[in-house]
Amino acid sequence: MITDVGHIALIISCVACLYAVVASLLGVRRNDERLVQSGRTAAMLVFPLVLAACIGLWYALLTFDFSVKYVADVSSLATPLFFRITALWGSQNGSILFWNLLLSAFIFAAMLRSWKEDKELLPYVTAVVCTVTLFFIAINLVAANPFTRFDFPPTDGRGLNPLLRHAGMIIHPPMLYAGYTSFLIPFGFCIASLAVGRRDNLWLIKSRRWTLVGWAFLASGLLLGARWAHDVLGWGGYWGWDPSENMPFVSWLFATAFLHSAMIQEKRGMFKNWNVLLMAVTFVSIFFGTSFIRSGLLTSVHAFAQSNLGPMFLGFMVLILAGTIILWFKRLDTLRSENKLDSWFSREGIFLLQNVLFVSTALTIFLGTIFPTITEAISGVKITVGPPFYNQVAGPQLALLVILMGIAPLLAWRKANAQAIGRMSIIPAIAAVLSLIVLLVTGPGQIIPSLCLALCVYTFVQTLLEYGRGVQARVRTAGESIPTALWHLIRRNQRRYGGYLIHIGIVLIAVGTIGKGFYGTDVIRNVKLNESFSAGRYTFTYRGISNVTCEFSDCQSVQAALLVTSASDGGLIGAVFPHRDSYPVQQYTATLADITGSFNEEVYVILAGWESAGTTASFQVYVNPLINWIWLGGIVLIFGFLIAFWQLEPGTVRRTAQLPQTVGAPSK
């Protein structure tokens, strides 16, 4: 009964979305404030209705209602309570319902805010966000219905996909979905501003928080997905340039370009047309990636199976893109820049160069990802682009972006002083050169990774010095202690110094990426019982295998034991217990690593196979230097976001004349 009520609530939410669109546009046309407000109310009503639908499906999952096909597909009598709750987004139909829940929640929050300053944008924002939500709810009802029932229900279900039984994968999809869906709000503001004909940056100011939230959720989702891949897939890595990784990364790159470019519009009134285009491309890239992954057109380690959703997503994406481009072309003249680029050697110039690199990197990854689909359409043969392509083409562009992060804060608006920049770069340059010498002398002697790490040192030191210069100025002028000066410095400009902390987080991630990519080692050995082998600075002694209790009742686990000692002096380091879990119902085997080592050097061991009841066994060992710096950098990055987001300064709207409206506006 509760599940059926949830299904009915989802149907009503579709009607509420449709009414919100019609009432908002009709209110504009008739200049009727009551219709506009009723559309706003209807938009807010969608969230509790979709939440009721989710509660209905959760009830079916919690009560083992296997008459619901979705419940039978993603759970079983052996599935623990926690994984039955998170199974809501464990497969395609439920994940779209969860997507709708997040969409409607963001819309509810946006509609709840005060619209005094931007009242004329309200009906258009409502119409845009509810049109998109209407599409997703219709998809849920027509093509991906999670409430479909069996005529003859089974007595038990298949259970949750073993790949999804990991904390990272449980948190990763909600984070990624939140990043995707929250960009609907700034996109709605962007289209509304175009529709009204505003020349100023009001839509940027009012949607800035939403853009930052979407950016941070995307970054968190990517990092959690990398951690899940590292822990669960048993391949020693964290990033394989898989389509499911590439597509959200492409959206994140476009969004990062937009955040930097938006600052130029706010400060100088420049790049208005470019910012509209960037926001549109960011939002459309989300649609494109979602459609490809869910259609099965791209082979991915955790993509959804073949379905008929791809053409629907692509068709709606084309409509959005076409409508946006038409509206954008109509406003090209009205969105001309108020100022020109005075000098390339300025903050505007460096931001523009960063924008070019962000966009070119995103396009490089995008084209590499869809290349197999293009070749199959042309020749009938899929030609896959592998990691070497991305590493060689996208890698240098990302490295250059890291360098520019260290230079950009030094440059003034309009035109920078080269001599002043040179003086401020002396200490970071010395630190970079010294680190390069140390790496070449004490390390393996590889010039490219040593140079890349030295550049990371330059950007890291330069960013720290920005904090130091600000603190020194406050200590000198206000007589404050260093901790107090640092606190007041950040409080007075949270956006700037939170951004610097984000830069430090990205530098740390780059250090981890370089360490794993260039200095890591991989050893495969087949050994007999009590026989030893070495990998890097470690010696492993095989002590046998045994059947152990699996974490889940629907699987069987075999665990190996290895003693780990130092290869140089034989000192005891510890032991590792890699294991393999078999799931008979799902016909799946998971190879799960055990990890030892230190923060700066991770040792990752997997059980590759065994023979003769364990008298011999094969192991694969990955020594991953600096990989944990990636996770540390992710934490720093999110902390920087929180500083930049919390109590964010409202910004200044650049007031310019507005276009005469071609349609009526709501009366005050």
The three-state DSSP-derived secondary structure of 469-486 is HHHHHHHHHHCCCHHHHH
Residue 361 and residue 398 in contact, taking contact as beta carbons nearer than 8 Å = yes
Residue 380: which pLDDT band, with cuts at 50, 70 and 90?
confident
SS3 611: strand
Residue 662: which pLDDT band, with cuts at 50, 70 and 90?
very low
Q: Does the structure show a pLDDT above 70 at 302? A: no
Q: What is the mean pLDDT of residues 366-378?
A: 85
Considering only residues 458 and 172, tell me which one the structure prediction assigns the higher pLDDT.
458
Distance CA 239, CA 513 (A): 9
Q: Residue 24 has what pLDDT?
A: 96
Distance CA 228, CA 581 (A): 16
Considering only residues 235 and 249, tell me which one the structure prediction assigns the higher pLDDT.
249
Q: Residue 660 has what pLDDT?
A: 43
Residue 645 and residue 501 in contact, taking contact as beta carbons nearer than 8 Å = no
Residue 622 and residue 597 in contact, taking contact as beta carbons nearer than 8 Å = no
Q: Residue 491 has what pLDDT?
A: 86
Distance CA 36, CA 34 (A): 5
Residue 456 and residue 463 in contact, taking contact as beta carbons nearer than 8 Å = no
Q: Does the structure show a pLDDT above 80 at 650? A: no
Residue 289: which pLDDT band, with cuts at 50, 70 and 90?
confident
Residue 411: which pLDDT band, with cuts at 50, 70 and 90?
confident
**Tokens (6 digits) for 464:** 């720290």
Distance CA 99, CA 88 (A): 10
Q: Residue 668 has what pLDDT?
A: 34
pLDDT tens-digit map of 79-115: 888 889 989 988 889 999 999 999 999 999 999 988 8
Percent residues over pLDDT 90 in the chain: 59
Q: Does the structure show a pLDDT above 90 at 171? A: no
SS3 569: coil
Residue 444: which pLDDT band, with cuts at 50, 70 and 90?
confident
Residues 6+ apart with CB under 8 A from 15: none
SS3 589: strand
SS3 601: strand
C-beta atoms surrounding 442 within 10 Å: 8
Residue 45 and residue 53 in contact, taking contact as beta carbons nearer than 8 Å = no
Backbone angles phi, psi at 439, to 5 degrees: -65, -40
Q: Residue 659 has what pLDDT?
A: 44
Nearest residue to 202 via CA among 185, 218, 213, 190: 190
* Single pTM value for the model: 0.91
Domain boundaries, given as residue ranges, for the chain: 1-165, 171-263+274-336+353-398, 401-518+633-640, 521-625
Q: Residue 145 has what pLDDT?
A: 94
pLDDT tens-digit map of 532-558: 999 989 999 999 999 998 888 888 999
Q: What is the mean pLDDT of residues 9-20?
A: 97
Helices and strands (DSSP H and E) totals, the chain: 20, 10
CATH code 3.90.320 for 521-625: no
**Tokens (6 digits) for 338:** 């108020």
Mean of per-residue pLDDT scores for the chain: 88
Q: Residue 334 has what pLDDT?
A: 82
SS3 510: helix
- Residue 91 to residues 112, 164, 242, 305, Cα–Cα distance (Å): 31, 10, 19, 10
